[in-house]
Amino acid sequence: MTWTRTSREILPVPPSALWAALADFTRWPDWDPDLTGAELHGPAEVGSTGFLVPNGFRGRVHSRVAEPFTITSLIQDREVALRQPIPFGVMDLALTVAAVDGGTEFVQQVTLTGPLRAVMVAVIGGDVVKHFDVKCARLTELAAAQADHDA
């Protein structure tokens, strides 16, 4: 009853610059092509909740019926993980950053659990994985701009 996909890429940017893009939840739509909105209800810390708005029809439905996500892990400069309730289950999303030769390894792990996971893979999970290369390209642009700003 679990579907998990892990994607990884080496991005040619410093870890601190990549982390800056990931840690600002309100900017997630700037790099995630599946989102049109994002908000965090309070400070970025484990237990805080927020709302991600998917694009298109999914977003209109999600905005009306979905519960907020919860931050399940937040390790400064290393990892952010969210748990998003889905119908009869959950979606866990973990994003990690690690310094490697040539830049930063960015890893995305998506797990869908529950009896409707196959439906949720078709509705959202597949796109989260399918668009990983676009996310990486946009994150690289944002992180490079951040690194230039910090220099």
Query: Mean pLDDT, consecutive 10-residue segments, the chain of 151 residues?
Result: 89 94 92 91 95 71 76 97 88 96 95 72 65 94 83 62
pTM here?
Answer: 0.88
Q: Tally the domains of the chain.
A: 1
**DSSP secondary structure of 97-146:** EEEETTEEEEEEEEEEESTTHHHHIIIIIHHHHHTHHHHHHHHHHHHHHH
- Alpha-carbon distance of 22 to 143, in angstroms, equals 9
Q: What tokens were used for 148?
A: 């230039």
Query: Domain span at residue 92?
Result: 2-150
CATH number at residue 120: 3.30.530.20
